[in-house]
A and B are shown apart, each in its own frame.
Chain A
């Protein structure tokens, strides 16, 4: 597994890097620490900070950590790095160094979430362990990719996984099938309704990625999508939210207009959630899926922790 951690030398970036170390350790990952310099005279400071962080990370995860420095705007450089080299995961802190002001949640993280093709993990300060993961799925095919990525990460650290689907639909008229809107989660899965079939597939995907049966479950909520996701995240005491981000395929007509109109739940969650968020945007489902953990690192390790 290849992980890219972007750093501006701030304490927030350090916390984000440490947050992802349990995943890196379990996956025996190769980690690249990318420092980005926007202005003159900052390179030396950044180089020193990166070296210190590299030592800390290597001691923490016992895996190889490389450093690299690029010059330019943060989001452009991260996108370029992710395009030029193959990564399974990109990690950034949600906030940046006050002096350097590289990463502010409203700009860099939002822009990256919109354009990066690699799963992007955004970590706010003050987060360390991942024990409970919330994977949000819209009930469509891309939700399976979200589950594959989120499930693989969760299995690495033995986290419990809840797959959440929010049914925000209400009936329009006499032709509406009301039953599907009224069933609870288990009944929906049993009934073979579209959402139920999707949840069953997602649970199977989690199983294939190494999440044990007793640590995975599906849940349905009803209401506004964003509100229900944020409520679930608060009430369920989760440590990580996994959300897919829609992207319009390049061959679609009126692509720019569709992109503008496109629903942006991921962007809304980044604005309002106080948790780490993993944004999964994959047009090609065969790439970027995090490899399953080596067998000895899956949920058995978490069983010892519990």
Chain B
């Protein structure tokens, strides 16, 4: 009696949702198209960025990226845009690094907005806002100290060796052949800044489609109690955040992945802080891909500088003083939500600070 040797493979293939695979490939195709548009159109925005907004040093680039992320309600398109601006010579490499950092600060506010809706519906602010505030505070306390490290790494040439990345000539010629005609058509009929905005719209759409292509995680009821216990060690939860966000490339989507781990939509404080720290590193995967697709090794180096500096700061916190850090962050968030006045001041500040930085 002989079994079908292909049976295991057949079973695996039968379980794959091919519609999601198709959606993923389509979103990837759109992502590449978006980058081609943005790369082509970025130069057209030089007068706006350099002359009108005067984005000419890291501090105001930080503010610009921050506000830009507010505008598009996402950090990834802004990070990709910063690389295209750099590639077009509109901003410097260190300004691009700052703009990427600012984009993550802006993106952190989006998670906060979910809780704000609950406050406006009359729920107790402490419970509604804690998750979003925690995500934002963890992001700020890691990214901002990481920025000088990334700045030093970039400007000292330490990452220049990484510029010798294989450019994948065959893939690039395929991209040129497929997308070249579309881009050329757009250039013929539209001004550069419109092409850039078109690219921005397409990249936002592609990331939304990508989110829909992600698998839905479900857990048996019995696992709801066990999983938070198994995710107790900070380094384990950090690794989980890192791995999940390699797939999702979005901190807010990765937080949504935690929902099936709790029957009632909760997360333990002990699980959340290290998870967000892990998410904050691999959220740059799509930006790294953008840097590679731009065929600009320095652009890739900018993203690597960001990722490595954040990884270094995160590792130092996790290994040396995670307990005090976690308590301090949680205590700050509880203090913040303890009084309406403090919350109002906080929200005003997170809008005024990037505006102030932009006009330095």
Contact = CB atoms under 8 A, between A and B. Distances in A.
Interface in B101-160: 114-115, 117-118, 123-124, 126-128, 130-131, 134
A173 B255 contact: yes
B326 interface: yes
B212 interface: no
Interface stretch (A74-82, A100-108, A176-184, A202-210): A176-184
B112 to A, nearest CB: 12
Nearest to B231: A261
Contacts of B232: 261-264
Contacts of A246: 229
Interface stretch (A2-10, A54-62, A220-228, A285-293): A220-228
Contact of B233 (A168, A170, A182, A261): A261
Q: Which of A169, A175, A178, A264 has the most CB of B within 10 A?
A: A169
B161 interface: no
B262 A169 contact: yes
Contacts of B228: 263
A181 B233 CA distance: 23
Interface stretch (B163-171, B265-273, B309-317): B265-273
A177 B266 CA distance: 8
Contacts of A168: 268-270
Contacts of A261: 230-233, 236
A174 B111 CA distance: 11
A140 B228 CA distance: 12
B254 to A, nearest CB: 11
Nearest to B111: A173
A174 B128 CA distance: 9
B50 interface: no
Contact of B256 (A170, A173, A181, A225): A173
Nearest to B272: A170
Interface in A152-189: 168-178, 180-182
A181 to B, nearest CB: 5
A224 B270 CA distance: 7
Nearest to B229: A263
Given A176-B265, A224-B327, A261-B236, A170 B127 contact: yes
A169 B230 contact: no
A182 B114 CA distance: 18
B118 A172 contact: no
A165 to B, nearest CB: 13
B266 A169 contact: yes
Interface in B242-297: 255-256, 258-259, 262, 264-270, 272
A262 B265 contact: no
A170 B230 contact: no
Interface residues on A, range: 20 to 34
B128 A178 contact: yes
Given A177-B265, A182-B124, A171 B225 contact: no
A255 B234 CA distance: 20
Given A175-B259, A223-B330, A261-B236, A170 B124 contact: no
Given A169-B262, A224-B326, A227-B327, A174 B114 contact: yes
A258 interface: yes
Nearest to A258: B230
Nearest to B133: A170
Given A170-B269, A262-B230, A262-B232, A176 B264 contact: yes
Nearest to A226: B270
A36 B36 CA distance: 75
A180 B233 CA distance: 26
Contacts of B124: 178, 182
Contact of A169 (B128, B134, B269): B269
A121 B208 CA distance: 55
Given A173-B114, A182-B127, A261-B232, A225 B267 contact: no
B134 A170 contact: yes
B174 to A, nearest CB: 40
A175 B134 CA distance: 18
A178 B131 CA distance: 12
Nearest to B257: A172
B229 A173 contact: no
A224 B262 CA distance: 17
A168 B265 CA distance: 13
A176 B266 CA distance: 6
B259 A172 contact: yes
Given A169-B269, A171-B265, A262-B232, A224 B127 contact: no
Nearest to B263: A194
Contacts of B266: 169-172, 176, 181
Nearest to B326: A224
A204 B273 CA distance: 36
Given A170-B130, A172-B255, A225 B270 contact: yes
Interface string A249-293: 000000000100111100000000000000000000000000000
Contacts of B264: 176-177, 180, 194
Contacts of B269: 168-170, 223-224
Nearest to A176: B265
Contacts of B123: 178
Contacts of B255: 172-173
B195 to A, nearest CB: 36
10 contacts: A169-B267, A172-B255, A172-B258, A173-B265, A174-B114, A224-B269, A224-B270, A224-B327, A225-B268, A263-B228
Interface of A: 140, 168-178, 180-182, 194, 223-225, 227, 246, 258, 261-264
5 nearest CB pairs, A to B: A176-B265, A169-B266, A263-B232, A175-B265, A263-B229
Given A168-B269, A223-B269, 12 more contacts: A169-B267, A170-B268, A170-B272, A171-B130, A171-B266, A173-B255, A173-B259, A224-B327, A225-B270, A246-B229, A263-B232, A264-B232
